[in-house]
Structures are given as C-alpha cells and as structure tokens.
Amino acid sequence: MNQWEVFVMDMAELAEGKDLALSIRTLNPGRHKYTYKHVRCQVSTDLDKHPDRLQVRMGRGQLSTAKFSIQVIEEIRRLPPQYA
Amino acid sequence: MSKISAPRSNREFIEACVQAGDAVRIKQEVDWENEAGAIVRRACELGAAAPFMEKIKDYPGFSYFGAPLSTYRRMAISLGMDPASSLPEIGKEYLKRTNSEPIAPVVIDRKDAPCKENILMGADVDLCKLPVPLVHDGDGGRYVGTWHAVVTKHPVRGDVNWGMYRQMMFDSRTMSGAVFPFSDLGKQLTEYYLPRGLSCPFATAIGLSPLAAMAACAPSPIPEPELVGMLSGEPARLVKCETNDLEVPADAEIIIEGEICPDYKVEEGPFGEYTGYRTSPRDFRVTFRVNCITYRNNATMTISNMGVPQDEGQLLRSFSLGLELEKLLRSQGIPVTGVYMHPRSTHHMMIVGVKPSYSGIAQQIGQLAFGSKLGPWFHMVMVVDDQTDIYNWDEVYHAFCTRCHPENGIHVYRNTTGTPLYPFATPQERKYSIGSKVVFDCLWPVDWDKVNDVPTLVSFKNVYPQDIQDRVLANWTAYGYPEVKK
Ligand SMILES: Cc1cc2nc3c(=O)[nH]c(=O)nc-3n(C[C@H](O)[C@H](O)[C@H](O)COP(=O)(O)O)c2cc1C
C-alpha cells in the first residue's frame, strides 16, 4: 500500500466519488519521499474503498485528523514537452 | 585596503568556526527528515554553535552545515575578524569594505573548479541524489535552497544577479520557489522573460563561502560577484556552467543548473519563514526545471532554518538592510549617527539615529527608506536623536514611549509595497504584496524651546557633573558593589 499526502485549503477540495486532479506527494520511505506527482484520482473516507492511503495537511502545514483512501487513476503530464 | 583573511569557501569557514568553538561536529547519523532541521532550529533559538552534521541517513558521503551565520560571532569569522568583535565594529568593517573599489571576479578553468568533481546530466539528474532536508515538519516540501544563491543574467543588459530565493524540491527534476515581484530576479522575469515566453537560464549554488552567501542576500546595488570581491578583498573565483553561459562560484559545494519555465508552474510552500511563522500559503510559483547537477566530493549542504529569532535570515538581513539604508541616507546628506535593525524585529523595524537639525527629518528618513529598494522588507522606521544609543533597546524603547507623540509623531503610509509574508497583513494585502508603513518620530520638535519646552533627561550620564560621575565610578567597588562589566 502506498502512502500519499495532499495539501488543501478546504476539505471540500476532496470530494468523494468524483475524479479529482491533485498534486500528491509520496510518504513511502526512501530517498524520493515527499516528491510530488500530479494525478487524476478518486478519494474516499472509507479506508477500505481504495488501495492507497491519503493523509491531509491544510494550507499552513497543519496535519488534519481526516484520513482517506485513494485510487490513483493516472499521472497527469502537465510538463510542456520542451522541458522533458 | 589591509589584507583580509576571510574564509574563501564553506569548508574553510566550517574549519574556522570549529576552531573558534562556534561550530560542533556531529558524528552520529542524523535524519534528513526533520531531525537535521530540528537541530538547526534549536541551535538558532539558543544562539548555540553551528551544527556540522557529518553523517546523514540515506546519503553517505554528504554532510550538512546548519545555521551558518546566525550569530554575530560567526558573522565576524566570515569577515575574517576577531569573533569577539562588537556589532558596531562589524558594521563599520562592512561599510568600509562595501564602499571600497569593486573587485572583478576571475573565471577559472573547469578542471580547477572543485564544484565539478561530480557531474550528473541527462537521465542521471535527480535532486533526490542530494540530501535535500525536510527543514520543518509540515513544510510543503524538502527545501533544496535555504542558504544559497540563484544565479541569473539579464540577457540584454548582461547584469548578473545572485539572489537567495527559497527553492523547494517538487520532483526529481523540478523545483519551485518564492521569487518576490520586487526582487531583482522577479523584475528580470516580469520585464523580460515572461512577456516573451522565454525560459530563463539559472544556476543554484549551495554551500557558498559565507561572504558569497552574504552578498546573495544583501540588498546592495553592487553586482554580487564584485560585492564578494569587495567583502573578501580578493576576486571571487567563478567557473562556467555545463549547460548554460552562467558563471558560478567555483568553490561552491553543489551547483544545480537549469531553466526557469515561463509556461509551467507547480505548487510551492508552505514554508517556515523569517517572520517566525508560516504565513504565505501554498501557491503556484516560479518553477525551475533542472538539467544538470554538479557537486564536490563529500559535499556539504548548507541549511538555514527560518523561524522565531534568531536565524541568519533575521541576523544578516537586519545587518545589511540597516547598513545599506545608512549608506543611502548619508548619500542624501542626512546627518545620521547610525542605522540599526534588531534581528528580533525579524527585520521589520529600522532604528535610525539622527541629529535633529530641521523639521520633518524623521518623515524624510521614512520616505527615503520606504521608497527605496529596501522598503518592501520592513514597515516601521523609528527615528531617535543622536544622544540615544541605537544599539541599546532600553534607551530606544524609553525614547519611543516618552517622546513619540501619539498624534503628531506617528505617520502612516498606505498602499505601499509589502511582502506576501507579513503576518499582520490581510489576506488580500498578502496576495498582492500590498504594504502599509509607519514612522515613529521620537525626536523633540525643532520648534520647541530647547530650555523651556524640551524636558531634561534624568540619567546618571546627563544630570551629574563630570567630577561627580568620575568619583562615583572610581569608588563603585569601594561602596561595596561588584565591578560592572562593560
Ligand atoms: C534565508 C533567506 C531566504 C530568503 N528567501 C527569499 C525568497 O524566497 N524570495 C525572495 O524574494 N527573497 C528571499 N530572501 C531575501 C533575498 O535574498 C534578498 O532580498 C536579496 O537581496 C535578493 O536580492 P535582490 O532582491 O536584490 O535580487 C531570502 C533571504 C534569506 C536570508
């Protein structure tokens, strides 16, 4: 199971049952911990619904007690090709 | 100028600090995730020696040097001065050196440049190969640049800029940073690169000599490579980058080369800031794409941990903002006795000592200060007379509380330039860098009769004849008091 974290200004950004575009960072241990991916995903407060876990921080870094499960559907490539 | 023997690299500086008892070697393994940051933070809050962390979890061969310039002792060492030098002595030396002739840098051959000992290009480029620390728990990311210089060049004018603008690692090849619109790089981007949709080459240099770092965060109009030369009394040694035409300090520990993207933005922040808070929200900010990383063998990454006082952001910025304002005021013929920013004000209050020779001088000082390039970084100017010791907060505070008229002595300026980091600013003001400013005029008005209107200061120094003062001082211990340390 992968562990992810997201920063939001408002919990409403994490609407359940909808496709969301989020920048999430990996909390998996190792050298790449805290690097981001921009993804299309679904989240749920039902921790058994999706395969991975998502932890939430608010805009100034405060850790939320809310816990989600998350399904990463795909990585969104926003990077213009000239920088690839 | 007499020969200066200032440390020429971060390594020489660490050695000098260790010798003077101003750095400790930490041999046990330290975690890059929070632990290193917490050590640096505690050292800052205690005013303790700088931690040189020699073993980092997951990153054999790398080390950290934290809180490089968060005490005046280390600032004196960086200038090649006696660590016990007083703040006014350090300030005098800074003014002397920065008023001297510019010293042009030299460009050395890449084979002689220590920063080229290891080179990562193409698919090998990965910022995660560097021990990028998570400085504060809850930060938006691991910060690559906390004590560094971002090197850029104006493509037409050719002006070189080294600026310390924080940089967060977004992914293996991307960093994002807070480059304020009123900074030199901010202006370069909005004036030239962004309107043309052009990417701006950059190079981030980490683990600089302390004087190069000092130059990168000094608000001086002198181009930083020359400024380093003036501060250190010898030419800065530069070397050409691998993937662009920029020149970087050859003795730096780590160089990250790349381009600032005009058409791609990723999120940055939040981050613990010099005000002692996390104020600016997470947002899409200036985005740096990395093309190459070069570094020395056994590279040391420098870490500044900003938070409550006092760290080098506060100490050094207060120091250089104050002295640069002093230069500006003197250049305008204002009879100042000195300018001082207490680092604990998180560089928000300028204290200016002046001979009150004409009406409105406090407002003139405030207007010059706020209207200058330095202005966005502070919002309070307190003007005291030439009899008040600007370095002695007790005297300044007494002057403020007793001489500043609540109606006539407080002058507020609205809708000025501010920073998005002002904790007191409204969310709207932060979003658009809108500031407001205040001058506290603690001078006796010049139209008051000096004999009948101006109150007499009742102090040991001011009310007793000199012979009585001398007698009391000479007999102090004989009266039974312990000796008073100067
Ligand atoms: C530790 C530290 C971090 C800083 N971070 C930033 C930053 O993220 N953005 C910024 O615009 N200025 C930042 N500053 C202030 C600039 O370094 C300073 O304004 C410097 O003079 C930049 O030069 P310029 O504005 O003249 O280009 C920081 C200063 C320090 C000491």
Same-domain status, B337 and B298: no
pLDDT at residue B209 in the model: 98
The reply to whether B461 falls in a domain is no
Same-domain status, B164 and B288: yes
The reply to whether B76 falls in a domain is yes
* A30 φψ region: left (φ > 0), alpha (ψ -120 to 50), beta (else): left
The reply to whether B446 falls in a domain is no
pLDDT tens-digit profile of A20-40? 999 999 999 999 999 999 999
- Could you say which of B58, B59, B139 has the minimum Cβ distance to residue A61? B139
Same-domain status, B41 and B178: yes
Same-domain status, B261 and B383: no
The reply to whether B49 falls in a domain is yes
Answer yes or no: is pLDDT of B308 > 90.
Answer: yes
> Which residues constitute the domain of residue B57?
10-303
Answer yes or no: is pLDDT of B354 > 50.
Answer: yes
B188 in Cβ contact with B123 (< 8 Å): no
Answer yes or no: is pLDDT of B244 > 60.
Answer: yes
Same-domain status, B296 and B373: no
pLDDT tens-digit profile of B163-200? 999 999 999 999 999 999 999 999 999 999 999 999 99
pLDDT at residue A84 in the model: 86
Q: What is the mean pLDDT of the segment spanning B199-226?
A: 96
Select from B217, B227, B377 the residue to mutate for testing ligand 1; criterion: most ligand atoms less than 8 Å from CB. Answer: B217
Beta strand B237-240 with B200-206 is unpaired
Domain boundaries, chain A: 3-78
pLDDT tens-digit profile of B247-297? 999 999 999 999 999 999 999 999 999 999 999 889 999 999 999 999 999
Same-domain status, B277 and B347: no
Q: What is the CATH number of the domain that holds B395?
A: 3.40.1670.10
Confidence band (pLDDT; 50, 70, 90) for A51?
A: very high
Q: Which of residues 41-80 of A touch B (CB under 8 A)?
A: 57, 59-63, 78-80
Q: Kindly report the number of other CB atoms within 10 A of residue B318's CB atom.
A: 26
B22 in Cβ contact with B77 (< 8 Å): yes
Q: What is the mean pLDDT of the segment spanning B40-61?
A: 98
CA B166 to centroid of ligand 1, rounded, Å: 7
The reply to whether B451 falls in a domain is no
The reply to whether B457 falls in a domain is no
Same-domain status, B296 and B346: no
- Could you say which of A34, A60, A78 has the minimum Cβ distance to residue B134? A34
B324 in Cβ contact with B377 (< 8 Å): no
Q: What is the CATH number of the domain that holds B244?
A: 2.30.110.10
- Retrieve residue B117's tokens: 């000992």
For B193, which DSSP code?
I
Spatial distance between the Cα atoms of B473 and B484, rounded to a whole number of angstroms: 10
Domains contained in chain B, number: 2
CA proximity to B164, closest of B97, B210, B201, B113: B210
Answer yes or no: is pLDDT of B3 > 90.
Answer: no
Same-domain status, B348 and B299: no
The reply to whether B256 falls in a domain is yes
Q: What is the mean pLDDT of the segment spanning B38-50?
A: 98
pLDDT at residue B116 in the model: 98
Percent with pLDDT over 70 in chain B: 100
pLDDT at residue B4 in the model: 86
Same-domain status, B294 and B343: no
Interface check for B128 against chain A (CB to CB < 8 A): the answer is: yes
Q: What is the mean pLDDT of the segment spanning B6-29?
A: 98
pLDDT tens-digit profile of B411-470? 999 999 999 999 999 999 998 999 999 999 999 999 999 999 999 999 999 999 999 999
Same-domain status, B196 and B338: no
pLDDT tens-digit profile of B215-238? 999 998 899 999 999 999 999 999
Same-domain status, B192 and B65: yes
- Could you say which of B58, B264, B281 has the minimum Cβ distance to residue A80? B264
CA proximity to B323, closest of B345, B350, B304: B350
The reply to whether B222 falls in a domain is yes
Spatial distance between the Cα atoms of B338 and B234, rounded to a whole number of angstroms: 28
Q: What is the mean pLDDT of the segment spanning B365-382?
A: 97
Mean pLDDT rounded to a whole number for chain B = 96
Lining ligand 1 with CB less than 6 A are: B 146-147, 161, 163-166, 177-180, 183-185, 217-219, 304, 306, 313, 316-317
> Cβ of B171 and A30 within 8 Å?
no
Answer yes or no: is pLDDT of A18 > 60.
Answer: yes
Answer yes or no: is pLDDT of B64 > 70.
Answer: yes
Confidence band (pLDDT; 50, 70, 90) for B1?
A: very low
Mean pLDDT rounded to a whole number for chain A = 97
Spatial distance between the Cα atoms of B191 and B139, rounded to a whole number of angstroms: 31
Answer yes or no: is pLDDT of B2 > 70.
Answer: no
Residues 6+ apart with CB under 8 A from B333: none
The complex's ipTM? 0.98
Same-domain status, B263 and B345: no
Q: What is the mean pLDDT of the segment spanning B370-380?
A: 96
The pTM assigned to this predicted structure is 0.96
Answer yes or no: is pLDDT of B338 > 60.
Answer: yes
